[in-house]
Amino acid sequence: MKFHVLPDSVREVPSPDSFTYPFSYEPHPLSIAAASEVRSYVESQSQWSEELSQGKMLGVLVVEKKGERGFLAAFSGTLGGKTLQEYFVPPVFDLMCPRCYFQEEQERISELNRRINGLEVQMQPSPLHLVAEQEIEEARKKMTEAKFRRHQLRITLSAEELEEKEPEMIRESQFLKAQLKRIESSWKKRLEEADHPLLVLQAEVKRLQAERQQRSQDLQQWLFSQYVFLNARGERKTLAEIFPSGQIPSGAGDCCAPKLLQAAYLEGMRPLCMAEFWMGASPKDEVRLEGNYYPACRSKCRPILGHMLQGLSVDPNPLLQGHQELESRLEILWQDCQIAVVAKPSGMLSVPGLDDLPSVFSAMKSRFPDAEGPLIVHRLDMDTSGVMVVALTPEAYGSLQRQFLRHEIKKKYLAWLECPMVSGQEGDISLPLRPDLADRPRQLVDQEHGKSAITHYLVLENRKGHALVALWPQTGRTHQLRVHCAHPLGLNNPIVGDRLYGKPAERLMLHAQEVEFTHPTDGKAMKFVLPIEF
């Protein structure tokens, strides 16, 4: 691991008063300078060029050591097929350490896999099964044919002839049934003997599979105990202690932020600020854009960093700042005894979240204390402004829900995109979406498991290097418009201020401008337009 000196260009830049809040931040100038140094270094390493061109998350941590400022660098996962590279901090625990217990036990598990696969190849049923099936089937066929002949005789013979023939027919039926049982019994004994070697193999495979499962579980628990994370107070916690439920996400502890903080604590360095950034192409399923800075992931890193940041003075969560006045800014555009139409400001939740922030729901409950039902018929993202329809009765809620399900409610959005586009260009974007279970609330494009998501768009104009587009969602998936704009298979042009899929700014430049629906009780067509000046 190397302590890297910051460039002279930021020598006079003051250090921040508190450490970066890693889940929503604008990178400090010192972090930006450090990231530039890392980019220059990795771009000079030709052996990584192909891997980096396919996309990699890198991170920097600006630190102070004995009065001197510098930075540490990290990569997520592996680089060049290794967990250790000279320029970067080491992993919290090195899975790839040669001849360590993890590698040795992995080899034992791999050997079990090879033995199981080899035995399964040998697990072929005896060819006698086919012979037995043919002989038994032939006996059944004879029984069926004899039964049919007896049936025909009972139809065609006279009563006297049938009385004379009946004992013989009964004896034939009894004989054929007994013969089938003898054949089945004989084959059962022969097949049991023939299948004995197969049963021995099956028992051995079952035993090996149980051993493999136990070894894998034991190794996983051992591994969790090896990931020991420090914090600024010198306190230590393992993955198992950080995730007491036992539901530990794959790859937890191998992201940039935990690596960087761990290295700083071990070396007695004081963390000042940090940033994580993407290099290379965006993955097919998610939006990661070259050069953009990204927050730490939530499912893996939030619990870990919740421990590791203890003892540091950390910036407040910017998403929690300045929200108390939002309820007063929520404007009611129209109301009657059934519904209300409101103008939601950017930064306000539609429904209550984990942090007990003001929401449209809480505001409407306050203003309409006697209103019944779920109230919120549809949602806008926290950062999106615009017009929303609220139900004040269960009947209104049910009616509006049915209209949404039948795609009878029409919505139009306006968005400023980061780059200019051809004015007048229009079309449809169809990219199915699903939640990123490892990093909620981000969404992924998933052609196999995603839900259909369709957006119609029209480029209205270009101004100051940005394109203004109108967007008509045909479906209502979470972050649909944001992903469809930012994804390389969509417009490949993020919305200005999109901190999840583009670059942070003062606000997300996405506005729900229009909504059209039918009134729940009188059937009247209603349309509301909420102009905006971004």
Handedness of CA 453, 459, 463, 467 (dihedral sign): positive
Residue 513: phi and psi, rounded to 5, are: -85, -40
Paired tokens of 486: 């930012």
Q: Calculate the alpha carbon distances from 463 to 385, 403, 417, 459, 487 in Å.
A: 21, 36, 10, 12, 22
Written in H, E and C, the secondary structure of 189-256 is HHHHHHHHHHHHHHHHHHHHHHHHHHHHHHHHHHHHHHCEEECCCCCEEEHHHHCCCCCCCCCCCCCH
Residue 119: phi and psi, rounded to 5, are: -70, -40
Size (the chain), residues: 534
Q: Tell me the C-alpha distance between 320 and 186, whole Å.
A: 79
Paired tokens of 440: 């909620």
Task: Give pLDDT, residue 457.
Answer: 98
Q: Calculate the alpha carbon distances from 340 to 334, 376, 380, 483, 524 in Å.
A: 6, 10, 16, 29, 15
Q: Tell me the C-alpha distance between 400 and 392, whole Å.
A: 11
Q: Tell me the C-alpha distance between 401 and 395, whole Å.
A: 10
> How would DSSP label each residue in 19-82?
B--TTS----HHHHHHHHHHHHHHHT-GGGHHHHHT-EEEEEEEEEETTEEEEEEEESS-BTTB
CB distance 139 to 183 below 8 Å:
yes
Instruction: List the pLDDT tens digit at each of the 534 positions of the chain.
Output: 589 999 999 999 999 999 999 999 999 999 999 999 999 999 999 999 999 999 999 999 999 999 999 999 999 999 999 999 999 999 999 988 888 899 999 999 999 999 999 999 999 889 999 999 999 999 999 999 999 999 999 999 999 999 999 999 999 999 999 999 999 999 999 999 999 999 999 999 999 999 999 999 999 999 999 999 999 999 999 999 999 888 899 889 999 999 999 999 999 999 999 999 999 998 888 899 999 999 999 889 999 999 999 999 999 988 777 666 788 889 999 999 999 999 999 999 999 876 678 899 999 999 999 888 778 999 999 999 999 999 999 999 999 999 999 999 999 999 999 999 999 999 999 999 999 988 888 999 999 999 999 999 999 999 999 999 999 999 999 999 999 999 999 999 999 999 999 998 889 999 999 999 999 999 999 999 999 877
Cis peptide upstream of residue 441 (ω within 30 degrees of 0)? yes
SS3 (DSSP) at 387: strand
SS3 (DSSP) at 454: strand
Task: Give pLDDT, residue 322.
Answer: 64
CB distance 283 to 204 below 8 Å:
no
SS3 (DSSP) at 257: helix
Dihedral angle of Cα 116, 122, 128, 131, to the nearest 10 degrees: 100
Domain ranges for the chain: 4-93+229-318, 102-224, 322-529
> How would DSSP label each residue in 304-317?
HHHHHTTTS-B---
Class of domain 322-529: alpha beta
CB distance 438 to 297 below 8 Å:
yes
Q: Calculate the alpha carbon distances from 77 to 56, 90, 187, 254, 257 in Å.
A: 9, 11, 58, 5, 11
Task: Give pLDDT, residue 323.
Answer: 65
Q: Calculate the alpha carbon distances from 191 to 95, 188, 194, 335 in Å.
A: 49, 5, 5, 80
Q: Tell me the C-alpha distance between 527 and 522, whole Å.
A: 14
CB distance 383 to 507 below 8 Å:
yes
CB distance 377 to 404 below 8 Å:
yes
Q: Is 473 left (phi over 0), alpha (psi -120 to 50) or beta?
A: beta
Paired tokens of 190: 């022969």
Q: Tell me the C-alpha distance between 262 and 151, whole Å.
A: 87
Written in H, E and C, the secondary structure of 318-338 is HHHCCCCCHHHHCEEEEECCC
Please work out, in degrees rounded to the nearest 5, the angle formed at the alpha carbon of residue 473 by the alpha carbons of 468 and 477: 120
Q: Tell me the C-alpha distance between 339 and 332, whole Å.
A: 11
Q: Tell me the C-alpha distance between 34 and 275, whole Å.
A: 9
Written in H, E and C, the secondary structure of 405-434 is HCCCCEEEEEEEECCCCCCCCEEEEECCEE
Q: Which residues participate in catalysis according to the annotation?
A: 381
Rg (CA), the chain: 34
Burial of 522 (0-12, 13-18, 19+ CB in 10 A): exposed
